[in-house]
Homo-oligomer: A and B are copies of this chain.
């Protein structure tokens, strides 16, 4: 919440700018990830800089495989702890570390599977060359 008169952006522009749809933005508000946005007299949503940053942050986390539900939990603890910086960040770090671990494991397993397949293939190829029967 920045109180000074700053440039507001409308939902359509913002969506286009971020490469998402307006539906997505409204959806994030709908599930409480965004908090009710300011409205124009006519009822149109508008966003200021820190709200834009928040959406960008959400998108970044999403891209990294963190689910909206997990973000909700984060947002909730964030709100309940009343924006205390040093209580909230460890939570984020915890979730991040958890995901980093998962992704790391996945990478290891994928790579070893790849190796298995490559070796398997090599073995078969050798066999086929040795005795070109059948």
Contacts and interface: CB of A to CB of B under 8 A. Distances in A.
A110 B106 contact: no
Nearest to A114: B96
B96 A100 contact: no
Interface stretch (A14-22, A29-37, A45-53, A57-65): A57-65
- Identical copies in the complex: 2
A61 to B, nearest CB: 8
A94 to B, nearest CB: 11
Contacts of A86: 121, 124-125
A8 interface: no
Contact of A89 (B92, B99, B121): B121
A36 to B, nearest CB: 27
Given A85-B121, A85-B124, A99 B110 contact: yes
Given A96-B117, A118-B93, A106 B103 contact: yes
Given A64-B106, A65-B106, A121-B86, A100 B93 contact: no
A103 B103 contact: yes
A113 B125 contact: no
The 9 closest A-B pairs by CB, nearest first: A89-B121, A103-B107, A100-B110, A96-B114, A64-B110, A103-B106, A85-B124, A64-B109, A107-B107
